């Protein structure tokens, strides 16, 4: 049986579980691949650092370059841009297959790395970079290769989904839900990348690149986090039969002049409770795909964690090893399309707008005129005349939900409403999908 040397770069939460699987399930993996997968070494920065899994000390090294040079398959789980990027390029140029879960690096340079792998005739795989254990990238790349995807919409960050779900099911405030997420290990000590939407934006760029066969990166993603979502927003959503989720969305659009493009965005979003994504609770992830022929598809499962994400990594390793055993060039998605990224102004969506206004005659007429001036249609309006905590005496709370319109028109409407003297505050602006 052919022996393939596997180099593992990084031994954190995911890397330690990958190493465990490669060692404990060596015989099973050999049967499935037709080759013995030998874990040749694990490159780490600190040999003395504590590990989640007890592993043979002799496997660890600080010389990542030497380990890469001797490997047939390189698994990169270091994260960050450098030295990960340099080591991946070194592996590709040396003829090694690469498996990575590095969403930040892929969001920055997936097309460049894919082109480099194709030129070298090796495979670059990265299923673990989006939605943990959920098999979503390979189905988009392979199963839907003969279809035309029109929209991808997903919950791709477990931390934010846990926080928003807790706010919805328990009535907790944002800060309290975040504290609980940290206690349970769902949120990092510094949760900025999650709650500001940056993690989801990286994944949105990768999903867009694969779905629309064209290069997209972080600069193409309009990003908004969940820190402005309040308990009042969540309660209002519940009254409307909706729930708030942080969604990553990539969709085909027209720019008004007949030219097709793609809009890529991440933001807190209202969706009806009857929508499949509304039923995704806790730290789970789900990705909803719409295609011309396949119709609507949803992929659901654990989107993070050492063991679930390691499952996706080892799945890529097995697939890559089979290719090496059988021979032939690698299969890495080539992004040769000419579809351009369009700004968020080109998106058509609906808004839910919360206002605090003076409770007197003529207020609704003034607000309605601004909607009319911008040709934005109102679908529903709710008024709560009773005082709520923090409201000025004689004030009322209004909440409008619009019909679908251009982002540009909706944003201009909100901007003009803010200038009205009868409007005390714009308390929230949330986009609506799936209605």
| pLDDT tens digits along 345-377 | 889 999 999 999 988 888 999 999 999 999 999
Is 338 a member of any domain?
Answer: no
> Does residue 61 share a domain with residue 84?
yes
Q: Are residues 146 and 291 in the same domain?
A: yes
151 lies in some domain: yes
Q: Are residues 110 and 156 in the same domain?
A: no
Domain CATH code at residue 383:
3.30.70.260
Who wins on pLDDT, 338 or 364?
364
Give the span between the Cα atoms of 140 and 117, in whole angstroms. Answer: 19
Q: What number is the average pLDDT over the span 233-248?
A: 94
* Residue list, annotated binding site for L-homoserine: 188
Contact by Cβ (8 Å): 316, 14: no
CATH of the domain at 292: 3.30.360.10
pLDDT of 389 above 50: no
340 occurs within a structural domain: no
Average of pLDDT values for 330-355? 82
Query: Domain for residue 333, yes or no?
Result: no
Both 286 and 142 in one domain: the answer is yes
Question: Residues 79-113: pLDDT tens digits?
Answer: 999 999 999 999 999 999 999 999 999 999 998 99
Q: Give residue 257's pLDDT.
A: 55
Residue numbers annotated as active site: 203
CATH number at residue 65: 3.40.50.720
Mean pLDDT of 237-242: 92
Is residue 337, in this structure, part of any structural domain at all?
Answer: no
Per-residue pLDDT band at 383 (split at 50, 70, 90): confident
Give per-residue pLDDT as tens, 406-415: 999 999 999 9
181 and 124, same domain (yes or no): no
CA separation for the pair 309, 393 (Å, rounded): 53
Asked whether 384 and 325 are in contact (CB, 8 A), the reply is no
148: tokens are 């035309």
**Pair (319, 211) in one structural domain:** no
Q: Are residues 282 and 228 part of one domain?
A: yes
Confidence label for 421 from pLDDT (cuts 50, 70 and 90): very high
Mean pLDDT calculated for residue range 188-216: 94
Q: What is the pLDDT of residue 228?
A: 92
Q: Are residues 124 and 142 in the same domain?
A: no
Number of domains in the chain: 3
Residue 244 and residue 361 share a domain: no
Write out the two tokens for 153.
Answer: 């919409």
Q: Are residues 208 and 296 in the same domain?
A: yes
280-303 pLDDT, tens digit per residue, is 999 999 999 999 999 999 999 988
Binding-site residues, please?
9-16, 103, 188
**C-beta separation of 174 from 229 below 8 A:** yes
Of the residues 268, 303, 338, the one at which a domain ends: 303
- pLDDT (average), residues 105-126: 92
Do 7 and 55 lie in one domain? The reply is yes
Residue (of 2, 97, 87, 12) closest to 55 by Cα position: 12
Residue 339 counted as domain residue: no
Residue 334 lies in a domain: no
Q: What pLDDT, in 10s, does the model give residues 56-80? A: 999 999 999 999 999 999 999 999 9
**Please, how many CA atoms are within 13 Å of residue 17, restricted to the half-sphere of its CB?**
14
- pLDDT(244) > 50: yes
Q: Does the residue 19 lie in any domain?
A: yes
Same domain, yes or no, for 73 and 174?
Answer: no
- Asked whether the predicted pLDDT for residue 321 surpasses 70, the reply is yes
With a pLDDT cut of 70, the percent of the chain lying above it is 95
For residue 222, the enclosing domain spans: 138-303
């Amino acid at each position: 049986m052919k022996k393939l040397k596997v180099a593992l770069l990084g031994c954190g939460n995911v890397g330690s579980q990958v190493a465990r699987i490669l060692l404990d399930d060596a015989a099973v993996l050999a049967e499935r691949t037709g080759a013995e997968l030998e874990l040749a070494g694990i490159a780490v920065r600190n040999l003395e650092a504590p590990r989640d899994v007890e592993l043979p000390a002799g496997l660890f090294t600080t010389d990542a370059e030497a380990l890469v040079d001797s490997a047939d398959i390189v698994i990169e789980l270091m994260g960050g841009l450098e030295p990960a990027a340099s080591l991946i390029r070194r592996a590709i140029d040396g003829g090694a297959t690469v498996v990575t879960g590095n969403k930040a690096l892929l969001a920055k340079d997936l097309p460049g790395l894919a082109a480099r792998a194709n030129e070298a005739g090796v495979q670059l795989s990265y299923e673990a970079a989006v939605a943990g254990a959920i098999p979503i990238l390979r189905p988009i790349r392979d199963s839907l290769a003969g279809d035309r995807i029109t929209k991808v919409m997903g919950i791709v960050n477990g931390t934010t989904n846990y926080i928003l779900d807790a706010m919805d099911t328990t009535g907790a405030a944002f800060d309290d839900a975040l504290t609980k997420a940290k206690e349970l290990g769902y949120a990092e000590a510094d949760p900025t990348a999650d709650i500001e939407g940056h993690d989801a934006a990286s994944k949105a760029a990768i999903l867009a690149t694969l779905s629309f066969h064209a290069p997209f990166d972080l600069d193409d993603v309009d990003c908004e986090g969940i820190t402005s979502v309040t308990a009042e927003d969540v309660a209002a959503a519940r009254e409307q039969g909706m729930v708030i989720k942080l969604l990553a969305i990539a969709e085909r659009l027209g720019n008004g002049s007949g030219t097709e493009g793609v809009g890529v965005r991440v933001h807190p979003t209202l969706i009806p409770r009857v929508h499949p994504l509304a039923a995704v609770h806790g730290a789970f992830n789900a990705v909803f795909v719409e295609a011309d022929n396949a119709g609507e598809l949803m992929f659901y499962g654990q989107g993070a964690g050492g063991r679930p994400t390691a499952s996706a990594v080892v799945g890529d390793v097995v697939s890559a090893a089979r290719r090496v055993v059988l021979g032939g060039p690698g299969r890495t998605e080539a992004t040769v399309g000419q579809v351009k990224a369009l700004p968020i102004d080109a998106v058509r969506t609906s808004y839910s707008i919360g206002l605090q206004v003076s409770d007197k005659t003529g207020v609704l007429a003034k607000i309605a005129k601004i909607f009319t001036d911008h040709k934005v249609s109102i679908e529903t309006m709710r008024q709560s005349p009773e005082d709520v905590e923090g409201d000025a005496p004689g004030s009322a709370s209004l909440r409008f939900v619009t019909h679908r319109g251009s982002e540009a028109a909706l944003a201009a409407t909100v901007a003009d409403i803010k200038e009205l003297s009868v409007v005390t505050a714009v308390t929230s602006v949330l986009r609506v999908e799936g209605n």
